[in-house]
Amino acid sequence: MKLFYPSIIVILFVLSIFDLIVGLINDAVNFLNSAIGSKVASRKTIMIFASLGILLGAFLSSGMMEVARKGVFDPSYFYFSDLTFIFLAVMISDIILLDVFNTLGLPTSTTVSMVFCLLGGAFSIAMIKIASPLSNEPLHHLSQYIKAEKTLTIGIGIFLSILISFFSGAFIHYFIRFLLSFEYKSRLKYVGVIWAAISLSSMTYFLIVRGLHSTLQGFMEDNLTGFSLLIQHFIKWIHHHFFVFLLILFSTWTIVAKIFVSLGYNILKFVVLYGTFSLAMAFAGNDLVNFIGIPIASIQSYKIWKEAGSPSAEKFNMKSLSENVQVPSVVLIVAGIIMILTLWFSKKTKTITSTEINLSRQNEGTEKFLSNSLARGIVRFFLYFGNKFFKLFPKRFLVKIEKNFKQKIQNENVAFDLVRASANLTISSILISIATVQKLPLSTTFVTFMVSMGTSLSDRAWDRESAVYRVSGVLKVIRGWFLTGLIAFIMAGITASFLFFLKAWALIFFMFLIGFVFYKSYKNYQEVLSKQFEDQITIFGTEELTLRNTFNKTMDILEPILESIENIYKNSIEGITKEDLKNLQYSRKHFLKVKENFTNIQNYLILVIMKTKNSEPIAGRFYMRIYNKIKEIIESSDVITNRTLFHVSNSHKPLKYQQKKNLLILEHLMMEHFHIIKKIIRNRSFQQVNRTIKIKIFKEIEEQMNQQVMGIIHKKYGTKNTLLILDVLLPSKKITENIEEILLLHTEVLSKIASKKDASFLAF
């Protein structure tokens, strides 16, 4: 056991590196989204500004480290072994929890995760100590172990940030948008300069001056010399001449902004890049404790224990950990470098980023979340409230205001403009910096996400077409945040209990568990990547559509869909004839993936048609007709896969021998038809279309329908049997009809391309 505790310290050090990585992946969304969503610069430039902010913020973060050591529990009531198990449980639980959320592509709060892990671990160990037969402590002594009041304050502060951030973002940005409008470039010379100066002054004051003040507070009693002493005198002067300093700061940035605008540079680009730097700095200053606070606290505990002569770990009281301890700057800088490397090389940051951008984007596109009853209720309530509220104002006044909120046609690659991006960064930076100065572990994820949602609301990004889906998405993310706290508390509590009783064996088990979770998350993430459509515009790209390239690209869509429908149909028929439940389940699962992929095409229908070349509107009509036929094929396949699976999974009577034989004959004809169609599409040889097979399929279906009718008359087939056969035969006919009509459309389009004649055949 001599090496047990030193080994734990080494493991905690290694785990802290992993925690830095998974934590940064989750929190990168906080300071990257505004710059990436507005496409203010290249990704490389954005990353450089963010990296510099992280490095400086990490250096200024030492004042927050006490939260990990004594913010949630009182160390004087725990022994060295107790705290070691608590810290280890926190790191294990935190890493697993954050990695799962990262893989799912959902942003969560590292602050909530850390605080509730600490609370769960400390609560578990405290309960074990109180419940011990050797202890005579009553249950109410739990309040001495756990700082309930402090924990409650942290919890309330974290969850109040949801409301404060949302309403701050919505309220402040409403006036910003009113003053600048969506046609902001014409107002940059005057209003834009003032807004830029306010934004830059606010971020400079709170992030630089206040950040330095927070860092130097720990040195107040020391004899400072040189640069540190100079900064302290400067900060004291600012404290006594606040308005003078603010006026100087505002005047300086106003002059800088005016020079930029006079030279023809968009000053808001600089504001967004500076804001990215500032928010990255605020993130590192406030959230670094979540990643390295626990390992540092464990190392400090180990030093105290060793300096005391390494007494019994189960009896050595850790009261000394309550004293203030300064974190070495080199540790903070190394942590910052690890985060920067993760920022540059981790692909998961893009997955997390897409969630917030999708919910806050100004343009139309695929909605990532489905609606739910609560979201629908909220939207209906605010529609009703809005109608009543706006009736209180004169129509002329509302029309005048509405002119500033009239949106111009926006580049579909840009989620929102620079005005909103600058508002997101300014408001978020100020809120986070105030919390950092007050040493409150505010959730940067909560703040930046909810500010972004608030500014989206002000910008009318949540219109009646998308509001219910966006609200549903926000509710799902918030629900995930609350679940983070609950899951973190339970996980850390269970982990700490196992470590307390099983010690080395539990440690070995949890190390293997972390390895397994990382392996599974990597595999799952690769699957998630393969399904990502959010970062793709569509298969049609950005080029203007003509009849010729529409023809070619609809073929690129059609070929893989028909390939999948062929396999689905074959598996469904074979599954129902053999009563193979596993095959039918696979067929249904495969179909749902095809349907999900087709939904992407459906959501981009209008955007694709908008790119149709003005001189060739028939290209848009052609795409709509093809889309409609594919949709009908998908719907027919939906009926077949659903009904066959339903029949077998509910253990209904199997089909009769003749019915099975008939369906296998139909399957053979359908497979032959699919084979011919795929060959035609692959070779683009539509003039070779042979409709003989279609006639055979129709004849076979009619014959089987007649046999089914006769079987019902002679009472051979029951209700369930008949409904099943109908739900196979009729959709099969529709699939055949729609495929033939698609081929006919392509044949006509080929002739149109060759002759440039009228395309009235495309009319509905």
Do 207 and 429 meet the contact criterion of CB atoms below 8 Å apart?
A: yes
pLDDT at 702: 92
Span 735-754, average pLDDT: 77
pLDDT at 255: 93
Q: End-to-end CA distance of the chain: give it in Å, rounded.
A: 81
Q: What is the CA radius of gyration of the chain?
A: 32
pLDDT at 290: 66
Task: Say whether pLDDT at 536 is over 50.
Answer: no
- Report pLDDT digits (tens) over 612-662: 655 556 667 777 787 888 889 989 999 999 999 988 888 888 888 888 899
Task: Say whether pLDDT at 609 is over 70.
Answer: no
What residues have CB less than 8 Å from 336, skipping those under 6 apart?
Answer: 54, 55, 57, 58, 59, 284, 288
Identify the residue with better confidence: 534 or 52: 52
Span 34-56, average pLDDT: 84
Task: Say whether pLDDT at 213 is over 70.
Answer: no
Q: SS3 helix, strand, coil % of the chain, rounded to 5?
A: 80, 0, 20
pLDDT at 425: 86
Q: What confidence tier does 672 reach under pLDDT thresholds 50, 70, 90?
A: confident
Do 98 and 113 meet the contact criterion of CB atoms below 8 Å apart?
A: yes
Task: Say whether pLDDT at 301 is over 90.
Answer: no
pLDDT at 537: 38
Task: Say whether pLDDT at 67 is over 70.
Answer: no
What whole-number distance in Å separates Cα of residue 514 and Cα of residue 692?
60
**Which amino acid is present at 98?**
L
pLDDT at 254: 92
* Cα maximum dimension of the chain: 105
What whole-number distance in Å separates Cα of residue 223 and Cα of residue 236?
16
Span 14-19, average pLDDT: 83
- Report pLDDT digits (tens) over 152-199: 777 777 778 888 888 888 888 888 888 888 887 888 888 889 999 998
Smallest CA-to-CA distance from 329 within 248, 228, 413 is with: 228
Task: Say whether pLDDT at 251 is over 90.
Answer: yes
73: DSSP letter: B
pLDDT at 424: 87
What whole-number distance in Å separates Cα of residue 662 and Cα of residue 652?
19
Q: Does the predicted model carry a pTM greater than 0.75?
A: no
Q: Percent of the chain at pLDDT above 70?
A: 77
Token pair, residue 119, equals 């609370």
pLDDT at 764: 45
Across-strand partners of 79? 317
Q: What is the mean pLDDT of the chain?
A: 78
Smallest CA-to-CA distance from 81 within 125, 44, 49 is with: 125
| Tokens 């529609």, residue located | 383
Three-state SS at 114:
helix
Task: Say whether pLDDT at 223 is over 50.
Answer: no
Token pair, residue 434, equals 């105030």
pLDDT at 80: 86
Task: Say whether pLDDT at 760 is over 60.
Answer: no
Q: What confidence tier does 542 reach under pLDDT thresholds 50, 70, 90?
A: very low
pLDDT at 498: 92
Smallest CA-to-CA distance from 682 within 674, 690, 671 is with: 674
Task: Say whether pLDDT at 355 is over 50.
Answer: yes
Identify the residue with better confidence: 434 or 487: 487
Q: What confidence tier does 695 reach under pLDDT thresholds 50, 70, 90?
A: confident
Indicate the range of 70-79, 354-363, 399-408, 738-747 predicted with least confidence: 354-363
Span 379-384, average pLDDT: 80
pLDDT at 752: 67
Do 349 and 343 meet the contact criterion of CB atoms below 8 Å apart?
A: yes
Task: Say whether pLDDT at 709 is over 80.
Answer: yes
Do 686 and 749 meet the contact criterion of CB atoms below 8 Å apart?
A: no
Smallest CA-to-CA distance from 623 within 678, 545, 684 is with: 545
Identify the residue with better confidence: 475 or 271: 271
- What is the CATH class of 547-762? mainly alpha
Identify the residue with better confidence: 685 or 373: 373
Q: Percent of the chain at pLDDT above 90?
A: 8
What whole-number distance in Å separates Cα of residue 69 and Cα of residue 321?
7
Identify the residue with better confidence: 551 or 125: 125
pLDDT at 380: 83
Span 489-500, average pLDDT: 91
Q: Domain limits of the chain? A: 4-505, 547-762
Identify the residue with better confidence: 315 or 750: 315
